[in-house]
Structure 1
Amino acid sequence: MDIEVRHLRVICAIAEAGSLTRAAASLCMTQPGLSAQLRRIEAMLGGPIFDRGHAGAEPTALGELVLSRARAILPSVDGLIADTARAVRCGTASGQVRLGSVGAPLLAHLVAAAKDLLVGSEVTARCQYSPLPLLDDLAAGRLEAAILGDNPGNELPPRDGVVLHPIVTEPVFALLPSNHSMACCEEVGLEELLKDDWVMPPPDSDRTWEYWTSVFAQAGCQPYVPYEAEGRQLIEIVRTGLAISLCQPTFIEVPGVAVRPLKGNPLWYRHVLGWRSDGPVATHSDEIARRIREGYLVTCANSPAYMRWRQRNPDPRRPLE
């Protein structure tokens, strides 16, 4: 992982607040989540940035160096963001529709709808693991629309000029090796799975890890997570039988893995469509949202485990119809 502008903002926010608790509140994060992110930043920079104690957070010598550079860099970055956003709003980049998405099965439907409805526009797209940088890009005018996501109790914060429209709230499923003892079950208990080794994506600012661990705590224990991975690497660790994980219910089973619902549906995830209120997508937002919903239902049909779950749960909390 490379140092990003958002990491510099985190460091400055902690220094300005004088404590992680106050900084977490200003950043709309939890204190444990901010602490975890700070540890990752410090690991990237090679040493502690703050001395943390009862009196608060005081910059170390390394921290003072980082802060001096960050405070010099951020005004220029903010100026660049403001200038480019202004240029886009004034039409210097007219005809370009920039889309973004987290790891979700909805991006292709968003791109297809934009290409059909915004005729003559150049449509581009990029993906990112966490929704918060994408939301920041929407607010700054660097994206016209994006597929975002959040969890119960950790909903996306509002941003000026950005409309957030829920598409669907779906359960989170278990991802198991196909030879796992519970792979033959129609649904699996979270308490039993917590006895296995797990592979999880690295924690990030989207707070998904925090949400999961809070639900694990309610189930009685935390999983042992010897592996951190995402994407293809995570799937391969599961496929080889080294660990289990969680996944979206629309995940298409590949040889060697099994997707199964969790008993009692303890975990949920919400897909959200966001767009600039003053951008080209706003005019067609209702139709774009409708097409994404239709595309989501088609995607569901390719996941047998999810289709069976939907038949057993005819009225879950999903704003689709």
Structure 2
Amino acid sequence: MNLELRHLRVVCAIAETGSVTKAASTLGLAQPALTAQLQRIERALGGPLFERDRRGARPTALGELVLDRARVLLPAMKGLQDEAARLAGAGDPLRRYRFGGVNSPILGRLVHRLAAERRDVQITTYASWSVDELAQMVAGGRLDFALTGVCGDAAPSAMFGLSWREVAVDPVFVLLPQTHPLADRCEIDLVDLRREQWVAAPGDGCFGDCFAAACSRAGFTPRKVYEADVRAALDLVDAGEAVALCQATFRPVAGLVTRRLAGTPLRWRLLLGWHPDAPAAAVAEPVLESAVAAYTDALAHHPDYLTWLLAHPDFGVQPTGAGGVRTA
């Protein structure tokens, strides 16, 4: 049997999980099938790669040697595949825009603008709750742009080599049922929500930690936090079971209202990302300008917030010089 990259992935999975059973689950294989595959790999390499007992699987000296090589070869091959995918898409970079978004408030308006401006361009979208997944897809040439956000002054992971530019900065609002006792206020102190239950969308960013830290600064620990998609979150708020944090440009459905949090304890930075070596880099600046324009379009539906922005220049679109937008 000739050794292949998939065999090295098997060895790495067993070493990382410490168990053939757990590795089989991770790889989506039946445990007997993975055991048989491991035995074939060991025969091809001339000896056992793991010592296996009730405590799990530990690499032998031969196993450590294979793992050392695999941990160099697998990332190198992944890098080759990513570069090849980007090069394969370089023939006509202006014919398609592939966007990935994480609960973005302006993706629809951005697509609408680009479709009107470039009728010859094909536009596709992909949704994910994971910023890292989108960044990896952009790095791998499967998406051209990622439209996502981070809280405070945080930045997306640098491990994927993407260029990130800031579209706008917004305070985080709270979403309440219209019948909530605090719904008649224009601004709510976070501490006044200390007895509430919360609902949040899933994700792999730091927003949950930022929220917990903001609550701690206000002198309390948040009660139960439900995790749900946007539709289910709206249902929970509408039922009076929870309140939710939301972006300032969020348009609530009938029966729900958004309110500012006093002192803006949480900020949300909307970002556009692309790979600097991909064809998308050639059109990144006009796409960024369209994203900023889409954000500005969204403000027309929030006149009270627009008035607030005029008095708080540290929020909204943050220019740097003539027409520029800050780098994340």
Q: Structures share a fold, TM > 0.5?
A: yes
Tell me the number of residue pairs that the alignment of Structure 1 and Structure 2 aligns: 267
Change (3 A) 1:295 1:60: farther
Trace 1:106-121 onto structure 2 (pairs within 5 A).
106-112=106-112, 114-115=114-115, 120-121=120-121
Amino acid of the structure 2 residue aligned with 1:131: V
Does the aligned pair in 1 maintain the 2:252–2:258 contact within 8 Å? yes
Equivalent residue of 1:173, what SS?
strand
Question: Residue type of the partner of 1:217?
Answer: S
Question: Cα–Cα, structure 1 residues 282 and 237, in superposed 2: closer, same or farther, change >3 Å?
Answer: same
The residue aligned with 2:301 is 302
* Structure with the greater alpha carbon radius of gyration: 2
Structure 1 CA distance for aligned equivalents of residues 223 and 217 of structure 2: 16
The equivalent of 1:152 in structure 2 is 152
Kept after mapping to 2: 8 A contact 1:197/1:243: yes
Residue of structure 2 equivalent to 1:52 = none
In the alignment, what sits opposite 2:135? 135
1:264 corresponds to which residue? 263
The gaps in structure 1 that reach 5 residues or longer are 1-7, 19-40, 43-58
For 1:174 and 1:241, locate their aligned partners in 2 and report how far apart those are by CA, in whole Å: 14
Give the Cα separation in 2 of the matches to 1:76 and 1:269: 36
Relative distance call for 1:266 and 1:91 in structure 2 (3 A) is: closer
Shift of 1:113: 5.1
Kept in 2: contact 1:253–1:303 (CA 8 A):
no
- Whole-Å separation in 2 of the counterparts to 1:60 and 1:206: 37
Runs of 4+ in 1 over 6 A off after TM superposition: 59-63, 75-78
Deviations along 1:201-242, whole A, 9 cap, x unmatched?
A: 34x421211111111111111111153212010011101111
1:9-45 CA deviation, whole Å, 9 max, x = no partner? xx97x959x9xxxxxxxxxxxxxxxxxxxxxx99xxx
Asked if residue 250 in structure 1 is aligned to residue 240 in structure 2, the reply is no
Match in the other structure for 2:192: 192
Q: Which residue is equivalent to 1:218?
A: 217
TM-score after normalising by structure 1 = 0.71
User: Could you tell me how far apart the structure 2 residues matched to 1:224 and 1:144 are?
Assistant: 39
Sequence identity of aligned pairs in percent? 27
Give the CA RMSD over aligned residues: 3.7
Distance 1:60 1:153 in 2: 47
- Please tell me whether the aligned partners of residues 97 and 144 of structure 1 are also in contact (alpha carbons under 8 angstroms): yes
User: Is contact 1:117-1:284 (8 Å) kept?
Assistant: no
Matches within 5 A, 1:33-182: 64=57, 79=77, 82-83=80-81, 85-91=83-89, 94=92, 95-112=95-112, 114-115=114-115, 120-159=120-159, 161-182=161-182
Give the 3-state SS of the residue equivalent to 1:245 in structure 2. strand
1:53 aligns to what? none
Superposed counterparts of 1:279-294, under 5 Å: 279-294=278-293
Partner Cα distance (1:207, 1:90) in 2? 34
User: Aligned partners of 2:108, 2:127: CA distance in 1, in Å?
Assistant: 11
TM superposition shift of 1:200 = 2.4
1:82: Cα distance to partner? Answer: 3.9
Q: Structure 2, unaligned stretches of length 5 or more?
A: 1-8, 19-24, 27-51, 320-328
Q: What is the CA-CA distance between 1:81 and the residue it aligns to?
A: 7.1
**One-letter amino acid matched to 1:86:** A
TM-score when normalising by structure 2: 0.69
User: How far has the Cα of 1:198 moved from its partner?
Assistant: 1.8
Deviations 1:141-188 (A, max 9, x none): 221111021112432132465211111111000111110001000111
Write the distance in 1 (CA, Å) between the matches of 2:233 and 2:138: 29
CA apart distance, 1:128? 1.1
Q: Match for residue 48 of structure 1? A: none
